[in-house]
């Protein structure tokens, strides 16, 4: 069959083809029975074919005309919709070349430098294209006094060997009223805060009876006046505690002023040398005021665990700290130590076994505290293990000493062995840290609900929340001091071995820099208790001796230090070293021995991460500085890109 006829048959509908085939077969059958019908059959079938093709052509023509008319109408409507769009609309290429913009767009942004914002959008689109993301634009942008929801699509406009250009159509939807309404709603929400005078008991005991009512009245007046400036209400719930409720719209102003009440309270005139300090916790987390109050209660524990004299705001599960410049003042009671000692003994007695865990890269404070808890558990006749890796911890001298002790050969185990020994009935005692990310084996925290935390560091947001007993005293010099108090007030007679006594004493010595830093009355009481068991001071001093190589490294770091603002020493350890954190810590300590330096920072590289060690003996709170650096690093790691989610809306 000729190609022309084949194309003609292709244009026919399938059912028409079937009819023609059936008719053709019937005519053939008739011709077989009656030869006289051959010629009439051919004529009839030919006429039928001609008629079929004529009808089909006529139908296609009518359909084509209908589609053409419809296309013209759709194009006209589409063009009219674009031209008369009620929203500002612009079509441009990703290189910034504007193809077309609506009259509403010109009117809307007549007095606005809109090109700056278009350049920003183009850059984000290019980044999205480079990242291979879906071709959707959906973002919120404030332009001048208005907020717009910008939506659109982009497609390839032209391509050459060098680069491909994309064209995008953007709609600018004015959502200012919605944003303002949402802002007004959020601003009207309540914030709940808890304020506590840190050293109320100590100060009230030192002032005269005549001055006590006056001091109390001054404190209350100061607190109430501050609350009045934010339109909030403040209620005194205890002698040293206030509950503060106010609208969220005032929170930004309070944060901008860096919680000025912290300094105002310190300025209250008292005839003693100790200034009043205040701790504040404010929470916006929670649907009801009760939930916000509970959240603030959790936050105030963190503030007190960080030493007080500071404020924390809890938003969306995150903590933002302010203040914290005052040195901690010892204000612990022996009653708490006795209570903790009794409770810990009971928990040990009720457990199948005990595992003691310190922090990564353990120091003498961590090891000494671990050995102290070990002796307490052994006195109660419990199976006990210590999870710590002494290898590479710069404790070579101590490691050699403890290897000679037969009792500890199978006591100090690694993470793998600990995971094999822990059960839901195991008591896990964490010493010298409260951070989940800093313990020697974080996996152990998931294996038992019976967890005890003993620590003296300023509290972090990464704390172990599910502990059943916490002895967290930021005013203590060391974890060894806290453990020594637990042993001292134990209901059982504790017989410390020589190395255990010396380890506890060495831990206190290390963290107090030979009893010169953060040393209180309780520190000397703990040291005196340990001396009764006999401590070889010379032996302890040898544990802290460094190799000549390490000493040279530290000396070189100190030599290359730069002095900032005449009081801050900054240096770096340039060699990649798995023990860089320990070297940096020692170098930071050494920098503080230089006159006029009140704070020091040393940065190093462990090979897996960058570490910074900060030390201070003045008014500078290095923890607050390092926390801000950590938050900034996290923020910079989160780079926004335009992308589509499953619902077709983009996120940044």
Write the CATH number for 490.
3.90.1640.10
Boundary (domain end) residue, out of 495, 519, 543: 543
Q: String of b and e for 94-118 (b: at least 16 CB within 10 Å)?
A: beeeeeebbebbeebbeeeebeebb
Does residue 494 sit in the same domain as residue 345? yes
Does residue 619 sit in the same domain as residue 575? yes
Cα distances (Å, whole numbers) of residue 226 to 231, 267, 310, 515, 544: 9, 14, 16, 41, 51
State the SS3 of 481-542.
HHHHHHHHCCCCCCCCCHHHHHHHHHHHHHHCCCCCCCCCHHHHHHHHHHHCCCCCHHHHHH
Does residue 170 sit in the same domain as residue 196? no
Let me know if residue 644 belongs to a domain: no
Q: Which among 368, 369, 349 has a CA at the least distance from the CA of 454? A: 369
Does residue 469 sit in the same domain as residue 386? yes
CATH of the domain at 265: 3.30.70.270
Mean pLDDT of successive 10-residue stretches along the chain, which has 652 residues: 47 64 80 79 82 74 59 58 72 76 81 82 78 74 87 70 71 88 84 90 84 89 90 90 92 87 86 82 90 88 74 83 62 70 88 92 89 93 88 70 84 90 92 90 90 86 81 86 92 88 90 82 89 81 76 88 89 84 85 87 87 81 74 46 33 30
Boundary (domain end) residue, out of 17, 52, 82: 82
The pLDDT value recorded for residue 494 is 87
Is 378 in a helix, a strand, or coil? helix
Work out the number of other CB atoms within 10 angstroms of the CB of residue 288: 10
Let me know if residue 605 belongs to a domain: yes
The pLDDT value recorded for residue 328 is 52
Residue for token pair 């079937």: 18
Boundary (domain end) residue, out of 543, 565, 585: 543
Does residue 438 sit in the same domain as residue 573? no
Q: Are 299 and 281 in contact (CB under 8 A)?
A: yes
Does residue 485 sit in the same domain as residue 531? yes
Does residue 172 sit in the same domain as residue 46? no
The pLDDT value recorded for residue 642 is 33
Does residue 168 sit in the same domain as residue 196? no
Let me know if residue 643 belongs to a domain: no
The pLDDT value recorded for residue 649 is 33
Let me know if residue 449 belongs to a domain: yes
The pLDDT value recorded for residue 641 is 32
Does residue 63 sit in the same domain as residue 128? no
Does residue 226 sit in the same domain as residue 282? yes
- Tokens encoding 60: 């296609």
**Angle, helix 3-11 to helix 38-83, in steps of 10 degrees:** 60
d(CA 191, CA 230) in angstroms, rounded, equals 11
- Tokens encoding 572: 């770096």
Residue for token pair 């919120």: 140
CATH of the domain at 95: 3.30.450
Does residue 175 sit in the same domain as residue 193? no
Cα distances (Å, whole numbers) of residue 60 to 56, 64, 66, 70, 73: 6, 6, 10, 15, 20
Total number of domains in the chain:
5
Q: Are 430 and 451 in contact (CB under 8 A)?
A: yes
Let me know if residue 442 belongs to a domain: yes
Let me know if residue 328 belongs to a domain: no
The pLDDT value recorded for residue 195 is 94
Backbone angles phi, psi at 88, to 5 degrees: -60, 130
- Domain span at residue 252 reads 189-323
Element (H, E) at 603: strand 599-605
Let me know if residue 645 belongs to a domain: no
The pLDDT value recorded for residue 644 is 31
Let me know if residue 68 belongs to a domain: yes
CATH of the domain at 609: 3.10.310
Cα distances (Å, whole numbers) of residue 251 to 157, 181, 190, 629: 49, 18, 10, 23
Does residue 67 sit in the same domain as residue 101? no
Q: Tell me the β-bridge partners of 563.
A: 569
Q: Are 602 and 613 in contact (CB under 8 A)?
A: yes
Separation of CA 237 from chain center: 33
């Amino acid at each position: 069959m000729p190609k022309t006829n084949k194309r003609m048959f292709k244009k026919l509908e399938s059912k028409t083809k079937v009819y023609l085939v059936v008719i053709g077969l019937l005519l053939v059958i008739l011709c077989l029975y009656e030869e006289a019908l051959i010629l009439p059959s051919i004529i009839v079938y030919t006429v039928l074919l001609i008629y079929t093709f004529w009808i089909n052509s006529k139908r296609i023509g009518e359909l084509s005309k209908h589609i053409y008319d419809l296309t013209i109408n759709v194009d006209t409507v589409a063009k009219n919709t674009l031209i008369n769009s009620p929203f500002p609309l612009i079509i441009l290429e990703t290189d910034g070349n504007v193809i077309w913009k609506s009259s509403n767009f010109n009117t809307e942004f007549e007095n606005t430098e809109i090109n700056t914002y278009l350049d920003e959008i183009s850059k984000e689109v290019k980044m999205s294209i480079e990242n291979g993301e879906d071709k959707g634009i959906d973002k919120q942008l404030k332009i001048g006094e208005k907020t717009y929801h910008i939506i659109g699509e982009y497609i390839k406009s032209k391509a050459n060997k060098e680069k491909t250009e994309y064209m995008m159509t953007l709609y600018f939807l004015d959502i200012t009223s919605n944003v303002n309404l949402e802002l007004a709603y959020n601003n009207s929400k309540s914030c709940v805060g808890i304020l506590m005078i840190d050293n109320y008991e100590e100060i009230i005991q030192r002032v005269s009876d005549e001055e006590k009512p006056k001091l109390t009245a001054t404190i209350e007046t100061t607190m109430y006046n501050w609350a009045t400036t934010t339109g909030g209400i403040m209620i005194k719930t205890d002698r040293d505690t206030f509950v503060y409720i106010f609208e969220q719209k005032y929170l930004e102003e309070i944060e901008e002023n860096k919680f000025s009440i912290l300094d105002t309270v310190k300025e209250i005139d008292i005839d003693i040398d100790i200034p009043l300090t205040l701790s504040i916790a404010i929470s916006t987390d929670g649907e009801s005021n009760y939930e916000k109050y509970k959240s603030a209660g959790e936050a105030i524990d963190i503030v007190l665990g960080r030493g007080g004299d500071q404020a924390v705001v809890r938003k969306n599960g995150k903590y933002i700290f302010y203040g914290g410049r005052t040195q901690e003042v010892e204000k612990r009671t022996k009653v708490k130590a006795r209570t903790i000692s009794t409770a810990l003994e009971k928990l040990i007695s009720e457990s199948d076994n005990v595992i003691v865990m310190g922090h990564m890269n353990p120091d003498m404070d961590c090891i000494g505290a671990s050995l102290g808890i070990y002796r307490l558990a052994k006195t109660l006749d419990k199976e006990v293990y210590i999870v710590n890796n002494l290898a590479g911890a710069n404790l070579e001298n101590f490691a050699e000493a403890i290897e000679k002790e037969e009792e500890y050969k199978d006591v100090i185990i690694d993470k793998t062995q600990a995971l094999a020994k822990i059960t839901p009935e195991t008591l896990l005692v964490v010493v010298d840290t409260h951070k989940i990310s800093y313990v020697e084996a974080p996996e152990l925290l998931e294996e038992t609900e019976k967890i005890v935390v003993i620590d003296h560091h300023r509290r972090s947001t990464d704390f172990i929340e599910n502990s059943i007993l916490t002895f967290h005293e930021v005013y203590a010099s060391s974890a060894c001091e806290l453990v020594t108090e637990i042993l001292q007030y134990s209901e059982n007679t504790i017989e410390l071995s020589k190395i255990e006594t010396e380890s506890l004493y060495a831990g206190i010595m290390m963290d107090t820099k030979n009893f010169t830093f953060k040393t209180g009355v309780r520190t000397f009481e703990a040291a005196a208790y340990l001396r009764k068991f006999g401590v070889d001071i010379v032996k302890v001093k040898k544990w802290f001796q460094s190799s000549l190589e390490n000493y040279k490294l530290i000396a070189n770091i100190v030599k290359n230090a730069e002095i900032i603002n005449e009081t801050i020493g900054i240096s770096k350890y340039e060699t990649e070293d798995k023990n860089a954190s320990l070297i940096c810590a020692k170098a930071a300590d050494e920098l503080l021995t230089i006159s006029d330096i009140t704070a020091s920072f040393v940065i190093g590289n462990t090979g897996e991460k960058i570490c910074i060690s900060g030390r201070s003996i003045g008014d500078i709170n290095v923890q607050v500085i390092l926390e801000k650096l950590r938050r900034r690093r996290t923020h910079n790691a989160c780079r926004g890109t335009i992308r589509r989610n499953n619902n077709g809306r983009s996120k940044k």
